[in-house]
DNA sequence: TTGTAGGCGTTATCAC
DNA sequence: GTGATAACGCCTACAA
């Protein structure tokens, strides 16, 4: 066995530190230790054919000795093809998002892409930080954002973006989303069919958006008495947010016989608040959610909700990215929408 | 001078001359188009000081035209410091794991690391695939694995690994974990204090492990009548798995007055099964969970459980990785454990 | 202010 | 089989 001490020719000059974080071994070090050329090392490490079994073994031994691992940067530089997507999620504690993420991961994996995940915790500044990093490290970004178009563009530096839900001031990026109108059509029809006429809504933190709009539209269509006083804002998309919001709504509009929650967590919070007040669900007050979390089956009464195929939403977003990258026109309209489906359970 | 509206950023550059397979623009292309050297482009793009505002604008315009974005590989090669960790999660639908992931992401972000996430879906083969990829693209891996040490090592190719939970055949990698013994000590003490003597367990899919072991130990300590017939295996770590497992357990041991579930989902499944049989929780049968999911507060009755600080677990794992990378000794024993805390609610 | 030279770690190409 | 040599795209000197 050769015993070639890596006599660092031009690197860290003459400093022979035995401890501390040593420089990572390169292909060159391995080559020297094994007494072969870099090329041969490459052949051995990458399991190429044209190499003598003996030298191969010797090279691999040297590599092991030096704890050599090829640099992914150098490799990426020379072998194209590694695609990395960034995924920005607002709240990992809301079961909705992990499921969307699962869809993204699934589709990305099928294409051989990697996914770098960021948790923005519903914070505008953190969204921007995420973009600052991902714009340097990812080939495309997918996610939920509150920042307006121009801000996003500024922090994106040209990296393609696909929104998982288009916000009010977000029109120029590709997006996928949920067909709230189609969902609420089913939802309100169901409530009206059950005899409800005084229906309130617990909206999310962002205020006016597709869900509220659709709610208002359907509500008018059925000729129900509704204005903004029938809508309460929740300051969190969570059970606690729903509880607090429902308290306020009941104070404002005690006459309601049904509520539509911005999402399932809020709806579940609403149910709890209703019961605190000694009213029964659904007999005194019906509750309709939006999301279709499996959690909704576990609460009592089980939550009637507009179920969304969240995995599909995630997969759709990846497909959208693929189109962008291929220079194709992104899907738009119904092709890029997931349509909610009413799931009737006990709460409404 | 041309001016390109930002709306175009979703499309491919219109200037795409040079026919052929449209190569991505490099710093060189920009330099040529702007009529400057590559360094000047670098200065403009990286916002360095020493550059004439005029040329800078010209360069940036050229970059925009060509849709130029610096190669992360070339950059990584020259600017060290980008650390990427791989995170392998078995089941994103179980609320436990997103919360651990949140802890990992949080800690990683603080260190300026990125995290590539893989969903192994509790599948051995998928675990290996994840490692095959991550060993090439990540500087370290954190995750849940079922494969034994030697298999992991083989697919790891020298990349440091930190297990989020040490399995039976996994001894040679660094790990963090949960102190099941400390948890069950509290849990069983609580049940015994409440007068229970005939206590069953719903174990997870992997069979014998720290939780079962701890259960058996505590059970013996309190001198309770327990052997394997008091333990049923669930074939899924889910509510459905818990329901099915509880059915079997009740068939085998109808005399039990309390059950300990491997995790909260299983425990919740158990509660449902108990009620199907017309027995009340906790009056006829008490249920104790393990995990402390917030979901447990929403079910009826609310779940008594051994709460784990899941975010902390994730953060701990990242810290463990940092030690490995620094060449330090990884934490071991109690330092690397999260201790469960009994949260008494209505179910037991 | 701007350009030239060289190196980062790896692989492809083409000799030997 | 094996080894020079030349990219790959970028950045940090240093020179002009």
- Residue A22 — very low, low, confident or very high, per pLDDT cuts 50/70/90? low
What is the three-class DSSP state of A233? strand
Measured CA to CA, the distance from residue B200 to residue B92 in angstroms comes to 28
B136, B298, B302, B325: best to mutate for the A interface, most A CBs within 10 A: B298
| A106 with B119: Cβ contact below 8 A | yes
* Cis before A301 (ω within 30): yes
The length of chain A is 348
Task: Look at residue A1 in the predicted model and tell me its pLDDT.
Answer: 36
Give the pLDDT confidence of B264-318 residue by residue, as tens digits: 999 999 999 999 999 999 999 999 999 999 999 999 999 999 999 999 999 999 9
Give the pLDDT confidence of A263-309 residue by residue, as tens digits: 999 999 999 999 999 999 999 999 999 999 999 999 999 999 999 99
Residues 6+ apart with CB under 8 A from B150: none
List, run by run, the mean pLDDT of 10-residue segments along chain B (348 residues): 34 38 82 92 87 90 93 92 95 97 98 97 97 95 97 94 94 96 98 98 93 96 93 97 98 97 98 97 98 97 98 98 94 95 98
Q: Is the pTM of this model over 0.75?
A: yes
Residue A153 pLDDT exceeds 60: yes
DSSP code of A10? S
Give the pLDDT confidence of A179-194 residue by residue, as tens digits: 999 999 999 999 999 9
Residue A19 pLDDT exceeds 90: no
Residue A10 pLDDT exceeds 50: no
Q: Number of Cβ pairs closer than 8 Å across A and B?
A: 139
Q: Which helix (H) or strand (E) holds A127?
A: helix A124-137
CA angle at A290 for the pair A286 and A294, rounded to the nearest 5°: 95
Task: Look at residue B106 in the predicted model and tell me its pLDDT.
Answer: 98
Task: Look at residue A163 in the predicted model and tell me its pLDDT.
Answer: 98
Residue with minimal CA–C1' distance to D7 is A78
If one counts every other C-beta atom within 10 angstroms of the C-beta of residue B65, the result is 20
**Residue B60 burial (10 A CB sphere; 0-12, 13-18, 19+):** middle
Task: Look at residue A13 in the predicted model and tell me its pLDDT.
Answer: 34
In this prediction, residues A221-230 reach a mean pLDDT of: 93
- Rounded to 10°, the helix A96-110/B96-110 angle is 70
Q: How far is B321 from chain A (nearest CA, A)?
A: 14
Measured CA to CA, the distance from residue B55 to residue A217 in angstroms comes to 54
**If you average pLDDT over each of A37-51, A328-342, B6-20, which comes out highest?**
A328-342
Measured CA to CA, the distance from residue B5 to residue B121 in angstroms comes to 44
| A92 with B98: Cβ contact below 8 A | yes
What is the average pLDDT value for chain A, to the nearest integer?
A: 92
Report the relative pairing of strands A341-343 and A337-338 from DSSP bridges: unpaired
Among residues B271, B276, B279, which one has the least CA distance to residue B303? B271
Tell me which residue has tokens 């330090």: B328
DSSP code of A194? T
Measured CA to CA, the distance from residue A211 to residue A266 in angstroms comes to 13
Looking at beta carbons, which residues of chain A come within 8 Å of B295? 295, 298
DSSP code of B12? P
In this prediction, residues A50-66 reach a mean pLDDT of: 92
In this prediction, residues A116-141 reach a mean pLDDT of: 96
Measured CA to CA, the distance from residue A190 to residue A196 in angstroms comes to 9
Task: Look at residue B306 in the predicted model and tell me its pLDDT.
Answer: 98
Task: Look at residue B2 in the predicted model and tell me its pLDDT.
Answer: 36
Tell me which residue has tokens 């206590």: B199
Residue B28, CB, strand D, below 7 Å: yes
Tell me which residue has tokens 């420089």: A23
* Cis before B301 (ω within 30): yes
Residue with minimal CA–C1' distance to C3 is B37
φ/ψ of A276, rounded to 5, equals -55, -35
Q: How far is A335 from chain B (nearest CA, A)?
A: 18
Residue A15 pLDDT exceeds 80: no
| A298 with B137: Cβ contact below 8 A | no
| A114 with B136: Cβ contact below 8 A | no
Rounded CA–C1' distance between A54 and C8, in angstroms: 30
If one counts every other C-beta atom within 10 angstroms of the C-beta of residue A133, the result is 18
Residue B37, CB, strand D, below 7 Å: no
A153: nearest CB among B9, B117, B327: B9
The CB-based long-range contact list for A24-27 (8 Å cut-off, 24+ gap) reads A24/A69, A24/A71, A25/A63, A25/A66, A25/A67, A25/A68, A25/A69, A26/A68, A26/A71, A27/A68, A27/A70
Q: What is the gyration radius of the CA atoms in chain B, in angstroms?
A: 27
Task: Look at residue A202 in the predicted model and tell me its pLDDT.
Answer: 98
Task: Look at residue B22 in the predicted model and tell me its pLDDT.
Answer: 61
A153: nearest CB among B6, B72, B325: B6
């Amino acid at each position: 066995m050769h015993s070639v001490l890596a006599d660092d020719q031009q690197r860290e000059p003459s400093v022979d530190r035995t401890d501390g974080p040593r420089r990572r071994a390169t292909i060159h070090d391995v080559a020297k230790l094994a007494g072969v050329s870099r090329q041969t090392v490459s052949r051995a490490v990458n399991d190429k054919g044209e190499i003598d079994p003996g030298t191969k073994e010797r090279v691999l031994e040297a590599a092991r000795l030096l704890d050599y691992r090829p640099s992914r940067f150098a490799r990426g530089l020379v072998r194209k093809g590694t695609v990395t997507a960034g995924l920005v999620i607002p709240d990992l504690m809301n079961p909705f998002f992990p499921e969307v993420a699962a869809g993204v991961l699934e589709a990305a994996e099928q294409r051989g892409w990697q996914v770098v995940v960021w948790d923005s915790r519903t914070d505008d500044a953190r969204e921007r930080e995420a973009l600052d990093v991902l714009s340097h490290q990812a080939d495309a970004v997918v996610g939920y954002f509150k920042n307006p178009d121009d801000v996003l563009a500024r922090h994106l530096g040209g990296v393609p973006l696909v929104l998982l839900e288009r916000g009010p001031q977000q029109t120029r990026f590709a997006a996928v989303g949920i067909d709230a109108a189609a969902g609420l059509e089913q939802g309100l029809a169901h409530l009206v069919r059950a005899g409800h006429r005084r229906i309130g809504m617990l909206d999310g933190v962002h205020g006016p958006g597709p869900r509220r709009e659709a709610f208002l539209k359907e509500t008018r269509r059925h000729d129900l008495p509704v204005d903004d006083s029938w809508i309460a804002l929740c300051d969190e998309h969570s059970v606690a947010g729903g509880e607090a919001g429902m308290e306020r709504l009941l104070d404002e509009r005690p006459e309601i016989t049904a509520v539509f929650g911005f999402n399932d967590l809020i709806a579940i919070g609403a149910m709890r608040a209703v019961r605190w007040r000694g009213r029964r669900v659904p007999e005194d007050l019906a509750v309709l959610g939006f999301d279709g979390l499996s959690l909704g089956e576990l609460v009592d009464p089980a939550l009637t909700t507009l179920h969304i195929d969240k995995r599909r939403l995630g997969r759709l977003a990846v497909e959208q990215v693929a189109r962008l990258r291929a220079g194709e026109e992104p899907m738009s309209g119904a092709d890029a929408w997931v349509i909610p489906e009413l799931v009737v359970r006990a709460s409404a």
